[in-house]
Amino acid sequence: MYSFGPGARPDGHHMGRGLGNLSAMTQWVGDGNGSLYWYIDHGYAIAAASLNAFGTTTDAIVSAETAAKVKEHFIEEFGPPIFTVGNGQSGGSMQQQTIANAYPGLLDGIIPAISFSDGMAFFQPLSDCQLLVNVFKQGTWTKEQMDAVSGKYWGYCVSNGTRYQAQKPDNCDAAVLMMQQKNPATIHPEDIRCTFQDDLKQAFGVDPKTGFARSPWDNVGVQYGLKALNDGVITFDQFIDINKRVGGHDLNGGLVAQREAADVDALRAAYATGQVNLYNGGAANIPIISIRYNLDADPYNRGDANVDVHDRFHSVISRARMDKYNGGSGNYVELLAATIGAGYGPSPSTAGSPYNLEATEAVSAMDAWLTAIASDKTSVPQAQKVTANKPKDLVNACWTVDGKNFADWTAPNATRGKVEKVTDWSKCNQVFPVFSDPRVVAGAPLSDDILKCQLKPVDAKDYKVAPNADQLAALKAAFAEGVCDWTKPGVGQEAKLTTWAIYSDKGRFSGL
């Protein structure tokens, strides 16, 4: 079991002290799903490293190299493992999925928890949220309208738009900032920019105009709130107002009036190095069991300032990408669990809880699945072999408590409620809410894989209620370059994935 740690801090200037997703409280044999000694009891070895924690650095390339070196050391010390299975939640899920895709063979199967496809999929809606929170400071907006424009339960944006900063250069670990402050003559600010792109300078390359990393972030042509307009939730004048004032981010992550334009070389690199994980490389040929406990909306009634960032829509994105690029998602199983009161009572991973039952069952199912694949000596393609050998009883499922997605386990055992496994996926989708995100509301596909859209002229026929002459003129002024044409691939998306990339210089790489 290779453990990948949580977090999302673009800061590649220190080693960190976290060890994957493991916990010192359990002597490094526990994991974030409440397995505690379960892995050891069932005969699994565990490996991890501090550079496999995205709370230390969101550099998936460094994480992959670290995993390769640790696995090599493990083999030298103990011999070859039968299988290597990725495990870990949140930032750990980003690492598993990008590494499995861009570094085939390193992981034989993965169990991403409270999952995101990759780091960019995590950060992009948060960037949009920050812009929309700023827009809604002016004017009169109902919660229904803000929900509809963002695609989120609005508290998600309120809580997280500024909490996770991908584009702020000073979003560094306190120890790094302290060293810079103590040594200003030798440690220059440009050397320790803690943005997502600067953390991955080896992939994105350097913009010669600034000396900083090329940026892959873009919102030119994005019609924020398009679905909300066409659904009649906002007026045409409100739609125009949002898109006139939404703006973008500058070089240092500050809010500015103009939209943000990506560097085309950075876009190509994002796709070529797998920073946008399309599941079209190694991930198409391994079993993936996604596990999640309910964190959508505000199940704990904590208020908008504390809504969790781990919404289920990211699992929708993952499946949509597999369907789009692989023609199906037969190697992917999604498991959901009711939570039992994180932050107000027991941890969701408490032994015997829905999430703990889900997580340990996922490991057993993964073991059986990988064993069946290894025993299959047919000559069919690997992807077909993976799908054919999925255990018959391993299906999309959810664990509820008295039919609900949340329960308070601070009560005595007898009144906690009945935990039930449900394999009727339509019922699971009713019990566990799923939202969307600002780009999908703006017309992007469910795969949410377009960083920068190709543009087309503003066309009145795109709107359910036709704009009048003044409104059409205002739209054309707001979108002088045009609006997104989501029927076309994204800019730079023609770049083919380079697996096992070797980096010779900043922005220069080739396949192994």
User: Which of 43-47, 189-193, 295-299 is least confident?
Assistant: 189-193
* End-to-end alpha carbon distance in the chain: 26
Q: What is the mean pLDDT of residues 221-236?
A: 98
pLDDT recorded at residue 299? 83
Residue 41 has a pLDDT of 80
For the chain, the average pLDDT equals 92
Please tell me the predicted confidence (pLDDT) of residue 238: 98
Angle formed at CA 138 by CA 312 and CA 131, multiple of 5 degrees: 40
- At 511, is the secondary structure helix, strand, or coil? strand
Beta bridge partners of 501: 511
Distance CA 154, CA 191 (A): 36
Confidence class for position 43, pLDDT limits 50, 70, 90: confident
**Angle (CA) 123 487 477, round 5°:** 75
Lowest mean pLDDT among 103-107, 260-264, 294-298: 294-298
CA–CA separation, 321 and 316 (whole Å): 9
pLDDT per position as a tens digit, 351-373:
788 988 998 899 999 999 999 99
Lowest mean pLDDT among 180-194, 233-247, 301-315: 180-194
pLDDT score for 30: 57
Q: CA–CA separation, 219 vs 509, rounded Å?
A: 27
Residue 26 reports pLDDT greater than 60: no
Give the H or E element holding residue 41: helix 38-41
- List the single range of 40-54, 156-170, 479-493 with lowest mean pLDDT: 40-54
Residue 482 has pLDDT above 80, yes or no: yes
Place of tokens 């109902």: 142
Whether the model clears a pTM of 0.75, i.e. scores above it, the answer is: yes
Q: Give the count of beta carbons closer than 10 Å to the beta carbon of residue 391.
A: 16
Rounded Cα gap, residues 244 and 225, in angstroms? 12
Tokens of 180: 């810079």
Confidence at residue 214, expressed as pLDDT on a 0 to 100 scale: 97
3-state secondary structure of 506: coil
pLDDT beyond 70 at 84: yes
Provide the pLDDT for residue 36: 55
Confidence of residue 345 (pLDDT cuts 50, 70, 90): low
Using alpha carbons, select from 379, 276, 263, 260 the residue that is nearest to residue 321.
276
- What integer pLDDT is reported at residue 300 of this predicted model? 79
pLDDT at 240: 98
Residue 81's nearest CA partner among 51, 62, 116, 106 is 106
Instruction: Kindly indicate the confidence band of residue 416, based on its pLDDT and cuts at 50, 70 and 90.
Output: confident
What does the pLDDT average to over 308-320? 97
Q: Which DSSP string do the residues of 346-361 spell out, in sequence order?
A: S-TT-TTSHHHHHHHH
**Alpha carbon distance 205, 197 (integer Å):** 9
Query: Picking from 30-39, 185-194, 198-207, 398-407, which range would have the lowest pLDDT averaged per residue?
Result: 30-39
Mean pLDDT computed over 3-14? 89
Number of H helices, E strands in the chain: 18, 13
